[in-house]
Structure 1
Amino acid sequence: MQGYKVKEFGQPVKRYVQILSLMDEPELIRQYRYAHSKEGFWPEIKEGIRTVGILEMELYIYGNTEVMIVETPLDFDWNTAMGKLAGLPRQQEWEDFVGRFQVCPEGSTSDEKWHKMDRMFYLYED
């Protein structure tokens, strides 16, 4: 099993974990993976993510299930940030583009597509 290095931000952070279903078609998943590669990802979208205060965003995939992990400063307000993100240049165009690969209604915003997961366990402090 491969592990992934985690960035250190020099400050406490909050983590959000969300899940999304993709179309269960290998060719569409291949195209979706490319759209999220270093070469295929739209620079305006990366800039928008940073602009709203997100420190890190990671996507993981298993079959046609995708998991997103987002790390933010402690004072980050999810609803405010997602409202701002939805109005940034090319954001809805990106959501419509990737929506072709996702199981979601046409025209959905990012916040409408993803389902927040509840943390049910962690290594509790003594």
Structure 2
Amino acid sequence: MTTSSEPRRVAQVVYLRPEYLEEYKSCHAAVWPEVLEQIKDSNIIDYSINLVSIPRPTLFATFKYVGSDWDADMARMAANPKVQEWWAMTDKMQESPTGAKGSKEGGWWLEAEEVFRLE
């Protein structure tokens, strides 16, 4: 998605390495302010990450993208040194279902297709 004036709801999944369960929860209980600021500056709102433990620990994230240039906003996020540091810390805790090697590569989280919504 490059440009659009319509808000976009996004849902994604990534596996969580079981040995990092508590560390992942702990770091997300105190997300760095610079990372939170960049998320907002990248036109992302209403962001949540949920954990499902069966059959293996899996993180399910949802957020609403309210910007008009997804590619530019995501590029700005990826260029932020503090976000890069955050990704380096959290990537070791996760395993991509897409086979990607890291968050900076793109496709680290698998995007889920929306099949139903009630507003």
Q: TM-score, normalised by structure 2?
A: 0.78
After TM superposition, give the deviation of residue 119 of structure 1 in Å.
Answer: 1.2
User: Which of the pair has the greater relative contact order for Cα pairs under 8 Å at 6+ separation?
Assistant: 2
Letter in 1 for 2:83: Q
CA-to-aligned-CA distance 1:26-47 (integer Å, 9 cap, x gap)? xx1111011101xx21111000
For 1:100 and 1:50, locate their aligned partners in 2 and report how far apart those are by CA, in whole Å: 24
Q: Which runs of 5+ in 2 are unaligned?
A: 1-5
Which blocks of at least 5 consecutive residues in structure 1 are unaligned? 1-11
Structure having the higher Rg: 1
Percent identity reads 26
Is 1:33 aligned to residue 28 of structure 2?
no
Q: CA RMSD in A?
A: 2.2
| Cα deviation code 1:15-36 (max 9, x no counterpart) | 10011111122xx111101110
Partner of 1:114: 109
- How many residues are paired up? 108
Other structure's SS at 1:58 match: strand
Q: Paired residue for 1:52?
A: 42
* TM-score using structure 1 length: 0.74
Bigger helix fraction: 2
Q: Do 1:44 and 1:89's aligned partners in 2 also have CA atoms closer than 8 Å?
A: no
